[in-house]
Structure 1
Amino acid sequence: MKPEKPELLAPAGGMEAFVAAVENGADAVYLGARAFSARRYASNFSEEELEEAIDYAHLRGVKVYVTVNTLLKEKEVENALKLLSWLRQIGTDAIIIQDLGLISLARKYLPDLPLHASTQMTLHNSEGVEFVKKLGIERVVLSRECSLEEIEQMRKKTGTEIEVFIHGALCISYSGQCLLSSLIGGRSGNRGFCAQPCRKKYRLYCEGKLIKTTGSYLLSPKDLNTTSGLGALIEAGIESFKIEGRMKRPEYVAGVVRIYRRLIDRYIENPAEYYVSEEEQETLTQLFNRGFTQGYFFKNPRWELMSRENPHNRGVPAGTVIGYDRRSTRIRVKLSKPLRLGDGIMVENAETRPEDKGKIISSMYTGKGQVYSAGPGDMVEIPFDSRAPSGSTVYRTHDKKLMDSLKKESESGSLRPKIPVFIIAIIAPGRPIRLEVKDRDSNAVAIESEYLVEKAKKQPTSKSQIEKQLSKLGNTIFEAAELHVTVDGDIFVPMGQLNELRTKAIEQLENLRIFRWKRKPLDTQQFFESEEKESREKAGQETEKTILESLPIRPMLSVSVYSLEGLEGALAGGADRIYFGEGLFRRPETSGKKESPAKRPEAVFENAVAEAQKAGKKIYFITPKLVKDSRMESVEKIFSRVRETEADGVLVSNLGTMGLAKAGKIPFIVDSPLNIFNSHTFALLLQEGAQMAVISPELTLEELKSVASHGPAECIVYGRLELIESEHCLTGGLLGNNKGQCSAPCRSGKFKLVDEKNYEFPLLMDYECRMHLLNSRSLCMLEYVPEILESGVSSLRIETLGMENPDEIRKVTRAYRKAIDIYLESGKKGKDNCEKLGKGFTTGHYFRGVQ
């Protein structure tokens, strides 16, 4: 039995790329509107272009998914919902979405609009998929870090449609969990403005010593290419295969879509003889590559994941530098591939900046003089401004002939097969011609001519003549698959009448194929009138409740710690609530020493709870941010410890863990990785049972107010914010054995990455050998405690990740405790500021915000 054919889903950053995707065989295309799209630097689509694109696709039987997959600020939610309403109306097949608040509103007001969960939602376990399924999500775009085995398990367990990336650029961080671009330059990846600082140079240090590495682009992954493993992905039953590339050229989209269309069809037709030709692989390589990887589908790629020597497109090797003539400023190259004028080249080890290594060939010379092209084995000279050492490889990064051919073929005609139609004609003297046209999707048109058929006086019109004329569908997207003509007696029909009737019928069929997807418009104003009414009613209830209680809520001070010593320091400093994360992060081990009974995990957690309860404070256990299905028992173990020790609950950072906590009746607080950006997301999480939510650190102080007023909220006011969490262990790849296998080097010392501006970013590894990159500077809002409290938050949070000294934890906690108490007692600001705690602090996004 043949396997099910997966959907081939193509990217489009503009109309040219969209047409290229459709005409080269995509089953569906994903694209973005001008607002709320995670690729804000793509040209994207205006409202007019969106409707034009959707109609163009639907006419050809292709689906369109629109990305509304950024996190939304409070003031943006109304316009985002209006956009969804309009997209629904013009026939969008589904919305790819990230923001939980917008999901909840869409399900409430636009229940017939299909929603797909974006990879930005960081869905990587079955419980998380189940949670969004209950919210009305029909399809999930899983995290790229999921293995094929994990994908199959999630699909089987949840019964939810799965979409995975099969080709294109990769992120070093789990999508939706990266703040690197945001905190370095204010351009948030969660908002579609990622500046890709991961593609810059970094240096790795251990215990202050520079670690020599091959290449300096330590956070830059290769590109995904699954052609060799495509059969296994098809056999897994994955519903949709997605190509990355909304920032790529139309020719790239055309070429990649065409090849994957061919490969999928080839496997479906004959799995046993599936192959990828040398030409197909070279075309993919030529179109764009940073080196290729199969990602995490079949194994953890470890060091093979990375493109450390070049973060840009490297094309294909085209020759070797033989020498450099300084007088003529030309490199001499012996070619291994053809080169032509208009091709782009990049020379490794050229004495210039990486971004200047490449150039377009405007002239080229051999011993015979200037030439247009040269082939393998030829020696050529190419003007090049920078010296390149002999032996350096010359890469062809742009193949003009290939690009021109892809563009020409896309413009000259569609590679899509024509849509078969079934035509029935009934013709009798004295009656109108009746014509019926039906496609394979059950769209049917029946029309009659105004012309009355004449009885033939001389030469009758033959049945074959009529069939020939009706089957002439010309440049339309249709072809006549079956034709049934019934002629009653000798008749005469002018060919012009048949042509006119056929043209009208085809036009009506085209309109039917387009308009069947349109939906009746809705009055979007009613949405927010309803929301405002509910908000006023709720506010009234809360006001009444506050009056009855007559006592203001005292803001709490929370401190997250990762050891008993840290806990003791936080309690000594005056913390009200402890988040305890012992064991989540690796710490240096002393070899040869037996673990004392007091340091066993059970005893450590018991002691932690005892210490907190003795001080009359609350304690919650921190659960991992990322938990695959195979490791969910570690979360269950934490839940068991909560029950056994009578701790107050858990801190959760992903939807799956939250769902388990709710099902297990474990009290929980939701942490900032769940990206609480607006009151609607906040309300949803509180409805799900959260005692409190930690608001996103990407919001400004003013934006925080608009969310915190809707319930118990916490914000982070101190500590190194986590920029990246990655499945790739940088230290294991660089310091493991010669095969890249990890030998636990992270246990041997402290690591940091240093960028080109000499900013130092601490690097931690967790219990699963995942990499955590922390900000180069600690957040500190000590002098702004009054403003934070006036925003309406219920709790301030100190994050001690990366802090090992309990005295430092005590000092910081005491400073915030004092600042809070002074304000509560006098309404004034304390005299202490961040300088008391050290140097090199940042106020994060509280005042500057993000794009």
Structure 2
Amino acid sequence: MLRLLLWAFFMSELLAPAGNPQALIGALNAGADAVYLAADRFGARAYADNFTEEEIIEGLKMAHLLHKKIYLTVNILTRQEELSELIAMVSRLYEAGLDGVIVQDLGVLTALHEACPELLLHASTQMSITSPEAVPLLKTLGCSRVVPARELSLEEIRAIRAQGIEVECFIHGAMCYAYSGRCLMSSFLGGRSGNRGRCAGPCHLPYEVIGETGEKALSRCYPLAMKDLCVLTILPELLDANIDSFKIEGRMKKPEYAAGTTVFYRKYIDRYVEWDKKGRKTHWKIDAEDLEELESLYIRTDLSTGYYHERNGRNLITMKEPGYAGADQKLLETIHDRYLTQTPKVEIQGKAVVRTGSRITLTCTAEGTEVLSEGVPAQQAKNRPLTKEDIREKLTRTGESSFDFDHLEVETDGASFVPVSDLNALRRDALSKLENTLLSRDHRQAKPYREAKCPASKAAKPCLASLVRTREQFEAADGICDLVIADGNLVNLIGEGTLSRKGKGELYAALPPVYRKSDAAQYAKISGNLCARVDGLYVRNLEEIAICQEKDYHVKVLAGPSVYLWNRKALETVSSLVDAMTFPLELSGRELESTFSDVFGKMFLPVYGRAPLMISAGCVRKTAGQCDHRGEHWFSLEDRKNVRFPVLCDCLHCTNTIYNSVPTSLHAEDALLRFLSCRGFLLSFTDESGDQVKQILRGYCGLLDASDPAERKRAGERIAGAMPAGYTTGHFRKGAI
């Protein structure tokens, strides 16, 4: 009985994708409660057709008359020069009634919270929110809803929702191998950034998996290609969890796919309500024909229920070549004819009065709202007077308007005549008045955009900081670096009191790249001892920033490059939460300089290290059948060109990090001299030996101390000598697109 009462007040929203206006019409006709879409800029599906502002405004009118919602995706990282334009665009749509926005960039989030105070702000899955610890901070920043990382279990999702924030979860469509927002693979290998909506899909390419000793663990296959998500078989569990919004992926797919997928999920959400009302006396069952039709809408890979009940595993990976292999064209045609050809309309009632000598009137009523329109006086008919049927037939021609007459009452004296053009004008005026009245609640006023306020800060000389994973690397860095950041199992050793610095300088502990429930349990055991033995913490996600805020550990906090700062508004937001920050890896040196030059004293510049191309809950070691859930293991992926990408299989945190095949190093860049007022230069070590670490660090010390080009050249040669496989300059010369 209690559940029936709850369903009277709560029903999960069915949220459908729309890549163009036709898909929006199809989704609304198919039963979506809300639709998410993007303008022709600033969305994470840059290659979809997308919408003009005018099309979005028309879509808002259509949706709101049907009591549906539209959410705009602005879920990309945003450059400084783009920010004011983005806020201006969203502000115009806000004033036109936009319901909400889905946001990745912290600067965009802050700016929209200020400019559009009544706008619903949803934290995108691109933010990689993985635990309830982030929720208080997100609420402070204005968020009313979280789209958690797809990798979370149902239990973890419940824990986030228990913090008093709405939760929106994916239920169908393509899956990424990396945590969304934590993939730089397309960016570093091809220049096209997933954080800008331009992912080239390198996870869909074939690789060999190479084991720790160099043996072939898996022959060439597709170990990063995820099966598509479909939750119909476990839908009751998700509905029982009171997830607020069920999201279908697919803005890049055909309108028929969006409509067809929405139809099936609408059917089974409604079926769940009836099944629940009847006491769940039968097993939950999906009709085989429905599942077959759903799969045939878009033939790409096998299906799975995703991470809701599994942390990772080979059964989530397709292993075979993914890619669009067609669809059932007859089914697509049926869906097109049924859902895509007619704009959805609101049924209304009306009354028309036509009497000779009096103005003609039309009263229209919808949902308790009534409007009256008056036209010209009716004339005495000279020949055939208008009948009721004549008047009704002319006035019910609603054409492309938002309305259809369910019933139209006509009163006439049987002796009148009115030109057809005047009847048409009466109808248009009445329907326009009704639409404007019903939509009058949508009008709001945006506030002016406020530029970020960032106090100037410059250092006399950058300190040298190194991020290390092994004891050998730690000892090599200890005698050279001003700041050593211990990562991986070294953090546990510090917490236990068995590892400390012997040289001068500061010691920081790196928190996990992704913070999940299991990580919270581990760090709860050592946090007290750890923070008593370090000078600071190196954080890589919003959860860890929020934890540091809440716990007040009395240590410094340095945000790593995955706490993205692409604009000054993001810098303003993050700088209020941490002591220092790290430049992102996808902006060019010129962009960093033009955006942040006056605040270099707060910033660390990454000058060396293999770029983490993917942070993933998936595990190539487990996919190869070799996982024992213990320690750290180095595997690698070999692509079609025989290039190898190291993979750190970290069982402590149950994550994989896929690194670039060669390190990034800026030692030969003359532009590095323009960054000497930064807080520090950051070098990140992965699989380097202690001798390599020493050689590279001493080379960068030589660069900082060099007084002429010849000394800088010698220092650079020393660094290059420690990288026999070569290096890249990453995005320092050219930012990601």
C-alpha change, 1:156 and 1:469, in structure 2 (3 Å) is farther
Matched AA of 2:83 = V
Query: C-alpha offsets along residues 197-242 of structure 1, whole Å, 9 cap, x if unaligned?
Result: 1000100111454435376111110101111112221221111111
Shift of 1:560: 0.8
Q: How many residues align?
A: 713
Q: CA deviation at 1:61?
A: 3.2
CA shift at 1:606, angstroms?
2.8
Report how far residue 826 of structure 1 moved. 9.5
Within the candidate set 622, 631, 640, 1:756 is matched to 640
Shift of residue 559, structure 1, vs aligned partner: 0.6
Distance of 2:416 and 2:259 partners within structure 1: 45
Choose 838-847 or 53-62, whichever is displaced more.
Answer: 53-62
- Which deviations, in whole Å up to 9, do the C-alpha atoms of 1:574-618 show, x marking residues without a partner? 100011124179xxxxxxxxxxxxxxx456653433x2xx42210
In 2 relative to 1, CA 23–791 (structure 1 residues): closer, same or farther, beyond 3 Å? farther
String of CA shifts for 1:237-280, please: whole Å, max 9, x gaps. 11111111111112212211222222222222333365322221
* SS of residue in 1 equivalent to 2:318: coil
1:564, 1:582 within 8 Å by CA — same for their partners in 2? no
Tell me the equivalent position of 1:302.
313
CA distance in 1, matches of 2:122, 2:212: 45
Alpha-carbon distance in structure 1 between the residues aligned to 2:649 and 2:685: 15
Q: Which residue in 1 is equivalent to 2:243? A: 238
Q: 2:654 pairs with 769, 782, 797, which one?
A: 769
What letter is aligned with 1:654?
N
Structure 1 equivalent of residue 37 of structure 2:
31
Q: Please state whether the residue corresponding to 1:783 is helix, strand or coil.
A: coil
Q: Bigger CA drift: 262-271 or 785-794?
A: 785-794
Deviation at 1:816, TM superposition (A): 1.2
Which of 428, 432, 451 in structure 2 is aligned with 1:531? Answer: 451
2:487 maps to which residue?
581
Contact kept, 8 Å, 2:495 with 2:530, in 1: the verdict is no
Q: How does 1:731-750 map to 2 (within 5 A)?
A: 731-736=621-626, 742-744=627-629, 750=634
Is residue 508 from structure 1 mapped to residue 518 from structure 2 by the alignment? no
CA 649–207 in structure 1, closer or farther in 2 if over 3 Å, else same: closer
Paired with 1:641 and 1:517, the residues of 2 have a C-alpha distance of 54
Give the CA deviation at 1:174: 0.2
Corresponding residue number in structure 1 for 2:544: 657
User: Match for 1:717: what amino acid?
Assistant: V
Counterpart of 2:606 in structure 1 is 716
Q: Which residue of 2 aligns with 1:95?
A: 101
Q: For 1:255-314, what per-residue CA distance to the aligned partner results, in whole angstroms no more than 9, with x for missing partners?
A: 112222222222223333653222211111111231101101133351111111121135
Aligned to 2:683: 798
In structure 2, do the counterparts of structure 1 residues 638 and 696 end up closer, same or farther at CA, with 3 Å as the change threshold? farther
Is 1:686 the counterpart of 2:575? The answer is yes
Task: Give a deviation string over 1:419-449, Cα, whole Å, max 9, x none.
Answer: 3445578999997677553433x64423455
Does the CA-based 8 Å contact 2:703-2:711 persist in structure 1? no
Instruction: Tell me, in whole angstroms, the C-alpha distance in 2 between the residues paired with 1:217 and 1:465.
Output: 67
Q: Is the deviation greater in 67-76 or in 174-183? A: 67-76
Contact 1:101 1:682 in 2 (8 A): yes
Higher CA-based Rg: 1
Give the drift of 1:57: 2.9
Return 5+ residue gaps in structure 1 as ranges. 315-396, 547-551, 586-600, 737-741
Alignment partner of 1:278 is 2:205:
no
Counterpart check, 1:409 vs 2:338:
yes
Q: In 2, distance between residues paired with 1:296 and 1:582?
A: 24
1:815 corresponds, among 699, 703, 718, to: 699
Partner of 1:317: none
The whole-number CA distance in structure 2 between the counterparts of 1:453 and 1:41 is: 58
What SS does the corresponding residue of 2:16 show, helix, strand or coil? strand
Residues 639 and 478 of structure 1: CA distance in aligned 2, closer, same or farther (over 3 Å): same
Q: Any conservation in 2 of the 1:692–1:714 contact (CA below 8 Å)?
A: yes
Q: Tell me: CA distance 1:623–1:436, structure 2 relative to 1, closer, same or farther (3 Å).
A: same
Give me the whole-angstrom Cα distance separating, in 1, the residues matched to 2:129 and 2:634: 31
- Which residue, out of 364, 371, 374, partners 1:445? 371
2:497 corresponding residue in structure 1? 606
State the SS of the aligned residue for 1:802.
Answer: coil
Matched ranges for 1:612-651 at <5 A: 614-645=502-533, 647-651=534-538
Please state how far the C-alpha of 1:136 moved relative to its aligned partner.
Answer: 0.7
The Cα of 1:451 is off from its aligned counterpart by 4.2
Distance 1:817 1:214, change over 3 A: closer
Q: Which runs of 5+ in 2 are unaligned?
A: none
Maintained 8 Å contact 1:36/1:68: yes
Is the CA contact 1:701–1:791 (under 8 Å) kept in the aligned structure 2? Answer: no
Letter in 1 for 2:303: F
- CA deviation profile, 1:773-830 (whole Å, cap 9, x unmatched): 1110011122337725536421101101233x2222222222212211225x999735
Matches for 1:288-299 after TM superposition, within 5 Å: 288=298, 289-299=300-310
Q: CA RMSD in A?
A: 3.4
8 Å contact kept, 1:731–1:746 = no
Tell me whether 1:847 sits opposite 2:733 in the alignment: yes
Please state whether the residue corresponding to 2:614 is helix, strand or coil. strand
Say if 2:488 is the partner of 1:559. no
- Whether 1:108 and 2:114 are equivalent positions in the alignment is yes
Q: State the distance in 2 between where 1:643 and 1:402 align.
A: 61
CA shift at 1:56, angstroms?
Answer: 3.3
Aligned to 1:351: none
Deviates more, 1:427-436 or 1:126-135: 427-436
Deviations 1:337-364 (A, max 9, x none): xxxxxxxxxxxxxxxxxxxxxxxxxxxx
Matches of 1:448 and 1:241, distance apart in 2? 45
Residue by residue over 1:2-54, the C-alpha shift from the partner in whole angstroms, topping out at 9 and shown as x without a partner, is: 63322221112222222222222222221111211111111222233333333
Q: Report the counterpart of residue 698 of structure 1 in structure 2.
A: 586
Tell me the residue number matched to 1:569. Answer: 476
Q: How far apart in 1 are the matches of 2:235 and 2:661?
A: 41
